[in-house]
Amino acid sequence: MTTSAQSDGANTFNNTSGESFSAEKYFATQPPPPSLEQDVARVKDFLQKQLQERRKVVLVTSGGTTVPLELNVVRFLDNFSAGTRGATSAEYFLKAGYAVIFMHRQFSLQPFSRHYSHSTHPFLDFLDINEPSGSSAPSFGDIAVRPEERAQLLEVLSTYKAVQRAGTLLTLTFVTVNDYLWLLRAVSQEMSLLGRNCLYYLAAAVSDFFLPRQKMSVHKIQSGKGSLHIEMDQVPKILKPLVAEWTREGFIVSFKLETDEDLLVPKARQALARYGHQVVIGNELHRRKFEVVFVSPKSASPPSASPALSTEIAEPPSADYEETWLTIDLEQNPEKEIEEDIVAELVRRHARWIDNATRNV
Amino acid sequence: MTTSAQSDGANTFNNTSGESFSAEKYFATQPPPPSLEQDVARVKDFLQKQLQERRKVVLVTSGGTTVPLELNVVRFLDNFSAGTRGATSAEYFLKAGYAVIFMHRQFSLQPFSRHYSHSTHPFLDFLDINEPSGSSAPSFGDIAVRPEERAQLLEVLSTYKAVQRAGTLLTLTFVTVNDYLWLLRAVSQEMSLLGRNCLYYLAAAVSDFFLPRQKMSVHKIQSGKGSLHIEMDQVPKILKPLVAEWTREGFIVSFKLETDEDLLVPKARQALARYGHQVVIGNELHRRKFEVVFVSPKSASPPSASPALSTEIAEPPSADYEETWLTIDLEQNPEKEIEEDIVAELVRRHARWIDNATRNV
């Protein structure tokens, strides 16, 4: 991105296309996960159904990714994420009438079942065994839900069953950052056929670093040889080809998690300038349950008439961006989930995005 | 452990006490987890109850440990472990009449609820809503367990409730390798008051490496600065002080997970020689569901009359060890869990261990 004083052809080429090339190089050198073809087939079926039923579709990515250090994986680098943001948001998107492709890290939280975490709200604790009391009772003890848990469970369960009947939730699973990258590329390429009717909600905590397969140790790294040195390569910036190639018309929302609040807005702007997408939601690690900031290019609402332009935003000055802070008061309303407001805001923005494109045709 | 030709006093000191010193140094320099005192209080109460009721107690450690790379944790190194071995074994120990301290990695599998993983057997899928059918029915739909799930759930639920009533299961949670080390030391020191009536079943996948707090980055490590280099220190070999200091009479079982089968037995023997405990259970990553090997010193069954001796085993030749392979046939019996046989074998060996000590008094 820095323009060098000497106008050396080769250097310029490296500077402007290095990142895009490195995504290509990534997929050319790292093997796809074995389940990819099967997953893509499920995505195709799901999208056909949603197209026929004229539903908007959101891809929600959720949970952390792992970076295996060994081919026979024992150790890996991981990113902290229980998957709360993604699982909660998926429920609100479903409520808003979207179909949801929920692409999540194995064992991270999922919509609906998230209310019954084995650690914090184990479901075995709200089941009772009623001893048989008379001759008309079944011959063994009967299982019943405790009265105090009944109302919430009934609500969660009936929404869950309604979603299953409607066929509006598709769950895909990844573990490694490699699984994630391959899956994201394949799903977004399929979703592009929906044009502006698709939204990307990229809430997964994706590793910035990876260990190429070619550099991995085949067996478990042996300890007892002093300290451990790991040298990793950078994961390609996947937003670049996502915006520019795989899904040109989708409304794309990415996330920035920082522990230094001062970095939030500058890093969000930087990402928008670099990749040319629609929104970055910034969240600080310790405030993320009650405060986020939406950062977006001012030109994007209303967007320019030419869809091609949005893929080629240069690095504009900070006046070209706007921030919207979204805060909830958890003391006043402890049950409130900030994802409800995040999703409501995005549904509005996405509708405007679709609307503007239609008016400009 | 290698005896150098030159008999240099300082060198000898370093060779023989280096590891033990490093555990001391670890606890002197790394801070305890905030919940430690509260956990220890719960352990004290639990052990008092089991002492009064004359129950044997097993400490089951389970799941992987993390190594945070940042003080405000976003990234961490992790060890692969869903916690199946530990959670399953804990159930069989409870069935065998033991009280269980289940010390597990947050979000790893737990006894009983493990049967209902949100990923593979989600409990929302086996609940039905029965619509109200008549005037005598409740005013809203009623929740019922599907008939085909009822028998298994009833069994799991009644065992779970019986264990709760008896007060024989205490669950402790750790996340980082630092949490684990502090908790293991504290719990084993408390458990030592049970003498030979306690068993240690150390199934957690503990990191061999850690990043001292003093070397951690305060904020999230920024990407975009090329590749990531991590240099970590070795975690002290905690079995050494566990055997030699914290719990002199406990029956201690550790685990070795390897991906290279040829390393299993040699590394198990090496661990026994180094730490002087009772059993190493070796398992190869891909065969661990149906095959394990028990490696133990021949002198330990029956053990020598002097309990002190078992803490000072030198490095004996391989003829001093015996291996017992334990295999199950999952094709013939797909429901069988190898942990049932592992626990049965350990319960027998632990009984002999207690018995021998009594006869030798």
SS (H, E, C) B301-346: CCCCCCHHHHHCCCCCCHHHEEEEEEECCCCCCCCCCHHHHHHHHH
Predicted pLDDT of residue A311: 41
Predicted pLDDT of residue B158: 94
Confidence of residue B224 (pLDDT cuts 50, 70, 90): low
Q: Which domains, and CATH codes, for chain B?
A: 38-112+166-219+233-360 (3.40.50.10300)
CB A274 within 8 A of CB A312: no
Q: Which residues 284-303 of A have a C-beta within 8 angstroms of B? A: 285-286
Instruction: Give per-residue pLDDT as tens, B15-74.
Output: 233 333 478 899 999 999 999 999 999 999 999 999 999 999 999 999 999 998 877 767
B227–A contact, CB cutoff 8 A: yes
The torsion angles phi and psi of B324, rounded to 5 degrees, stand at -125, 115
* Mean pLDDT of all residues in B206-220: 80
Q: Which residues 140-179 of A have a C-beta within 8 angstroms of B? A: 140-141, 143, 145, 150, 153-154, 156-158, 160-161, 173
**Closest chain A residue by Cα to residue B77:** A77
Predicted pLDDT of residue B181: 97
A230–B contact, CB cutoff 8 A: yes
Residue B141 pLDDT greater than 90, yes or no: no
* Mean pLDDT of all residues in B293-321: 61
Closest CA relative to residue B357, chosen from B281, B250, B279: B250
The torsion angles phi and psi of B238, rounded to 5 degrees, stand at -75, -20
**Separation between Cα atoms, residue A158 and residue A223, nearest integer Å:** 51
- Indicate the range of B72-76, B78-82, B89-93 predicted with least confidence: B72-76
Query: What percentage of residues in chain A have a pLDDT greater than 70?
Result: 82
- Indicate the range of A2-11, B100-109, B288-297 predicted with least confidence: A2-11
Instruction: Give per-residue pLDDT as tens, A257-270.
Output: 988 889 999 999 99
Q: Mean of the per-residue pLDDT values for chain B?
A: 84
Do the Cβ atoms of A143 and B122 come within 8 Å? no
Instruction: Give per-residue pLDDT as tens, A162-186.
Output: 999 999 999 999 999 999 999 999 9
Question: Complex ipTM above 0.85?
Answer: no
Place of tokens 């977006």: A296
Q: Which residues of B touch A107 (CB under 8 A)?
A: 82, 107, 118-119
Cα A58–Cα A61–Cα A67 angle in degrees, nearest 5:
160
Nearest to A208 among B79, B223, B233 (CB): B223
Q: Mean of the per-residue pLDDT values for chain A?
A: 84
Do the Cβ atoms of B285 and A74 come within 8 Å? yes
Predicted pLDDT of residue B317: 63
Q: Which residues of B touch A231 (CB under 8 A)?
A: 227-229
- Indicate the range of A132-146, A148-162, A302-316, B72-86 predicted with least confidence: A302-316
Residue A242 pLDDT greater than 80, yes or no: yes
Do the Cβ atoms of A160 and B78 come within 8 Å? no
More confident residue, A228 or A23: A23
* Mean pLDDT of all residues in B168-173: 97
